[in-house]
């Protein structure tokens, strides 16, 4: 089982907590799918408001690990400060580090990401960087102290699946011992299974479950697909070929023409 900063979850599905029809459906989706790691965030709270307190109470009752994010941060300083606030509120050194560089695609600003990752790891954080499938950037993130890499499958919330299968396969081959998580862009369980078949260690997704007609059932479907994909990877799939190769033995066939 892959180790994420020393934690070895049985489930390879990491689930976001946003956009569910209700808190109860979120809780049911987490329980029904066996998810052990959920992502959370921080937002402004009014003194008279209690939304954040109620949400935190719900998450604690689930008994899962939380992976706070720096979603929406566009600069190094903003991301680092958000991470510091998240560590205090959530009581964890884990941080899903997002430094957004472009608003249409929410593509990571990988230059800022590397810098923020270095600052945070030096400060004791365990960084899960949301990155692209760029091998050089991946190497720099490891140099900065990251022990996990999270390349995107496609832009956040797009549901497009794996936009660059070649790039993701290359990344898997280039970093054989590093836990790799496809984060973002997954729309269907088949997309998640495909990433697992490539040898990825886990999948992080949110919208595909939360916005499904039946989020609980979709969470279960993803859990099954991810398990199937992992089994397939470990079972060593055959190579594709261009021409047919008969599976039924030709030898001994009756001569009838």
Partner 1 sequence: MTLLLNGEPREVAATTLDQALAELGYAGKVVATAVNGDFVPARKRETVTLAEGDRIEVVAPMQGG
Element (H, E) at 87: helix 76-90
Q: What is the distance between the alpha carbons of residues 16 and 13, in angstroms, rounded to a whole number?
A: 10
Asked if residue 190 binds partner 1 (CB under 8 A), the reply is: no
Give the number of residues in contact with partner 1, rule: CB under 8 A. 38
Nearer to partner 1, 58 or 228 (CB): 58
- Which of these is catalytic: 10, 31, 77, 96? 96
Among left, alpha and beta (phi > 0; psi -120 to 50; other), residue 153 is alpha
Phi, psi at 65, each rounded to 5°: -80, 140
116 burial level (CB within 10 Å; 0-12, 13-18, 19+): buried
Which range in 18-26, 173-181, 187-195, 218-226 contacts partner 1 by CB under 8 A?
18-26
Which range in 41-49, 113-121, 160-168, 191-199 contacts partner 1 by CB under 8 A?
41-49
Asked if residue 95 binds partner 1 (CB under 8 A), the reply is: no
Residue 156 CB, shortest distance to partner 1, in Å, is 7
Q: What is the distance between the alpha carbons of residues 186 and 203, in angstroms, rounded to a whole number?
A: 9
Q: What is the distance between the alpha carbons of residues 26 and 24, in angstroms, rounded to a whole number?
A: 5
Residue 219 CB, shortest distance to partner 1, in Å, is 14
Among 12, 33, 39, 95, interactor with partner 1 by CB under 8 A: 39
The answer to whether residue 253 is catalytic is no
Asked if residue 79 binds partner 1 (CB under 8 A), the reply is: no
Residues designated catalytic: 96
């Amino acid at each position: 089982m892959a180790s994420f900063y020393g934690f070895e979850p049985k489930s390879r599905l990491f689930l976001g907590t946003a956009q569910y029809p209700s808190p109860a459906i979120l809780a049911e989706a987490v329980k029904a799918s066996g998810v052990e790691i959920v992502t959370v965030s921080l937002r402004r709270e009014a003194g008279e408001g209690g939304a954040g307190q109620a949400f935190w109470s719900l998450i604690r009752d689930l008994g899962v690990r939380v992976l706070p994010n720096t979603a929406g941060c566009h600069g190094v300083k903003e991301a680092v400060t958000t991470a510091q606030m998240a560590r205090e509120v959530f009581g964890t050194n884990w941080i899903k580090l997002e430094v957004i560089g472009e608003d249409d695609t929410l593509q990571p600003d990988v230059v800022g990401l590397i810098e923020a990752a270095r600052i945070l790891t030096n400060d004791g954080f365990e960084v899960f960087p949301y990155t692209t499938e760029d091998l050089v950037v991946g190497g720099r993130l490891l140099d900065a102290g990251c022990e996990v890499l999270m390349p995107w499958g496609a832009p956040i919330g797009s549901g497009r699946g794996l936009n660059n299968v070649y790039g993701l396969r290359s990344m898997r081959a280039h970093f054989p011992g590093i836990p790799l998580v496809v984060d973002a862009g997954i729309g269907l369980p088949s997309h998640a299974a495909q990433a697992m078949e490539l040898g990825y260690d886990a999948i992080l997704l949110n919208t595909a479950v939360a916005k499904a007609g039946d989020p609980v059932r979709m969470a279960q479907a993803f859990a099954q697909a991810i398990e199937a994909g992992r089994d397939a990877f470990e079972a060593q799939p055959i190579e594709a070929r261009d021409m047919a190769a008969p599976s039924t033995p030709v030898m001994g066939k009756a001569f009838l023409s």
